[in-house]
């Protein structure tokens, strides 16, 4: 989570890109690389002892971390703050509004973002590397309500300009339906392919030659398409219609499975290690929306519950181990996901 205020002494220069002074470019053969050096500001450090106002706040990463991240800085956010949610999955904004800002006078304005740059955290050098250069798209949710609140609109336009000023992010502001068209493929892939890999305990390569796995994916996809087709905020959008109708999605899913055939599933790794997943913002989002729209989503419901059951079993299994050496859960998360009392952590094998 990155937050800053206009008056802070982060940089002497007021130019927006100077705020990202930890980003630098290097050349490796013909490939352009952007590197993000380790920031000394961690999410905890941003909250502790600092009550100054945050003008612009970027929340990125897993969807399930957004509520907690915003709770931790809620006292520094008000109607003049613009928050950009660049998290995985869908329905994160709805959750943030309901759980963090419901009934408060101080709700900030929101920008939604999604990027196709592929970044990876390098533990060795504690830095983020860009594996693939892509683009960033930004949009205003509830654009139908624009104009009702000029001040709020101004603060988020300012934020969009700040982000656009960072050339390496390659950002642009797009209408909501075009933004969703940009984000939907990755959300659909994570809702249709990943859970089936996990439940069948097969890597991507095993999916295409397994008829039962293919049928399961088709059923998940059919329900998701039916929900998306009825979402009121994208009613009449040609961009979404062209993507979800016809063969485009199937072709996309097939090409991603082939491209990643040797890879194991990210969701499988999270579950195996008892780490939280974003299933509530993937299949969970389509289940909630389906329910609101009166559309049945039984396959998504079953898959979501099976993933949750598998996750609970993994945590039980991990908790049954006597932790002689921490290997499966990062040590800074062990208090959160292990239920062993602290004084039993030093037990020896008997």
* Chain residue whose CB lies nearest ligand PAF: 93
Q: Counting contacts by CB under 6 A, is residue 94 touching ligand PAF?
A: yes
Residue 285 CB, nearest approach to ligand PAF (Å)? 7
Question: Which one of 54-62, 87-95, 317-325, 339-347 is the stretch in contact with ligand PAF (CB under 6 A)?
Answer: 87-95
Residue 245 CB, nearest approach to ligand PAF (Å)? 20
Closer to ligand PAF at the Cβ: 196 or 234? 234
Rule CB under 6 A: choose which of 34, 83, 86, 92 binds ligand PAF: 92
218-237 positions binding ligand PAF, by CB under 6 A:
233
What x/- string results for residues 164 through 193 when contact with ligand PAF is judged by CB under 6 A?
------------------------------
Residue 84 CB, nearest approach to ligand PAF (Å)? 12
Read off the DSSP letter of residue 130.
E
Q: Counting contacts by CB under 6 A, is residue 282 touching ligand PAF?
A: no
Q: Counting contacts by CB under 6 A, is residue 284 touching ligand PAF?
A: no
Angle at 151 between CA 147 and CA 155, to 5 degrees: 110
User: How far is the C-alpha of 231 from the C-alpha of 228, rounded, in Å?
Assistant: 5
Question: Which one of 84-92, 130-138, 305-313, 321-329 is the stretch in contact with ligand PAF (CB under 6 A)?
Answer: 84-92
User: How far is the C-alpha of 236 from the C-alpha of 295, rounded, in Å?
Assistant: 19
136-155 positions binding ligand PAF, by CB under 6 A:
141
What x/- string results for residues 296 through 335 when contact with ligand PAF is judged by CB under 6 A?
----------------------------------------
Question: Quick check: helix, strand or coil at residue 262?
Answer: coil
Beta strands at 23-28 and 82-87: parallel, antiparallel or unpaired:
unpaired
User: How far is the C-alpha of 176 from the C-alpha of 235, rounded, in Å?
Assistant: 11
38-57 positions binding ligand PAF, by CB under 6 A:
none
Record the tokens describing residue 170, joined without a space: 């390659």
Question: Which one of 10-18, 46-54, 88-96, 257-265 is the stretch in contact with ligand PAF (CB under 6 A)?
Answer: 88-96
User: How far is the C-alpha of 184 from the C-alpha of 182, rounded, in Å?
Assistant: 6
- The length of the chain, given as a count of residues: 350
Round the CA-based radius of gyration of the chain to a whole number and report it: 21
For residue 102, give the nearest of 111, 93, 91 by alpha carbon: 93
Closer to ligand PAF at the Cβ: 63 or 323? 63
Q: Counting contacts by CB under 6 A, is residue 158 touching ligand PAF?
A: no
Neighbouring C-beta atoms of residue 49, cutoff 10 Å = 5
User: How far is the C-alpha of 210 from the C-alpha of 254, rounded, in Å?
Assistant: 13
Q: Is the dihedral of CA 44, 46, 51, 53 positive or negative?
A: negative
The contact set with ligand PAF (CB under 6 A) reads 90-94, 141, 233
């Amino acid at each position: 989570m990155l937050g800053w205020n206009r008056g802070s002494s982060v940089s002497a220069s007021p130019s927006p890109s100077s705020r990202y002074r930890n980003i630098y470019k290097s050349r490796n053969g013909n490939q352009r690389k952007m590197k993000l050096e380790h920031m000394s500001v961690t999410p905890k450090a941003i909250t502790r002892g600092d009550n100054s106002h945050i003008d612009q706040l970027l929340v990125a990463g897993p969807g399930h971390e957004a509520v907690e991240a915003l709770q931790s800085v809620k006292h520094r956010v008000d109607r003049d703050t613009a928050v950009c949610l660049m998290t995985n999955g869908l329905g994160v904004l709805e959750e943030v509004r309901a759980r963090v800002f419901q009934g408060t006078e101080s709700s900030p304005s929101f920008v939604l973002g999604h990027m196709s740059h592929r970044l990876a955290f390098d533990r060795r050098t504690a830095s983020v590397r860009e594996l693939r250069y892509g683009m960033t798209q930004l949009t205003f949710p509830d654009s139908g309500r624009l104009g009702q609140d000029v001040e709020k609109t101004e603060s988020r336009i300012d934020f969009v300009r700040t982000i656009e000023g960072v050339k390496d992010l390659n950002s642009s502001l797009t209408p909501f339906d075009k933004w969703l068209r940009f984000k939907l493929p990755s959300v659909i892939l994570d809702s249709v392919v990943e859970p089936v890999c996990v439940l069948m305990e097969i890597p991507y390569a095993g999916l295409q030659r397994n008829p039962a796995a293919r049928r399961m994916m088709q059923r998940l996809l059919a329900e998701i398409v039916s929900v998306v087709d009825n979402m009121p905020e994208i009613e009449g959008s040609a961009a979404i219609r062209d993507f979800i109708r016809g063969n485009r999605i199937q072709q996309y899913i097939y090409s991603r499975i082939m491209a990643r055939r040797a890879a194991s599933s990210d969701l499988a790794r999270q579950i195996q290690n008892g780490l939280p997943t974003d299933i509530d913002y993937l299949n969970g989002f389509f289940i909630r929306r389906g329910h609101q729209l009166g559309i049945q989503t039984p396959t998504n419901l079953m898959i979501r519950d099976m993933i949750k059951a598998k996750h609970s079993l993994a945590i039980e299994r991990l908790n049954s181990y006597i932790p002689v050496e921490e290997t499966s859960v990062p040590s800074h998360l062990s208090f959160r996901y292990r239920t062993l009392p602290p004084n039993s952590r030093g037990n020896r094998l008997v």
